[in-house]
Amino acid sequence: MESVIKYITGFFSGLMAIFMAMIPVSIMFYVLTGSSVFGIDIVTNLSNLISRVGESGFVGVVVLVILVSFFTNKK
């Protein structure tokens, strides 16, 4: 059972790494061409996310800390 859990968590870690690598590539593609990638306007979505976190005060800071904790290595 432990090997299955390690396999699944390894799969999702790899998938998350692929998505995290696609974000900068998508931003560069948008900056260079002016068009969205796969129909997703990444720059507008990131701008909206940052403005919403900024508008929500303390709750936004707490959410930001929680999100950052997901994306940092805990080795």
Confidence at residue 75, expressed as pLDDT on a 0 to 100 scale: 62
Residue 6 to residue 1: CA distance in whole angstroms: 9
Residue 35, CB half-sphere, CA atoms under 13 Å: how many? Answer: 4
Confidence at residue 11, expressed as pLDDT on a 0 to 100 scale: 92
Confidence at residue 26, expressed as pLDDT on a 0 to 100 scale: 84
Listed residue (32, 55, 54) closest to 43, CA to CA: 32
Amino acid at 35: S
Q: What H or E segment, with its residue span, contains residue 28?
A: helix 2-33
For residues 38, 70, 7, 14, the Cα torsion angle rounded to the nearest 10 degrees is: 40
pLDDT in tens, the chain (75 residues): 888 888 998 898 888 888 888 888 888 888 888 777 778 788 888 888 788 877 878 887 887 788 788 777 666
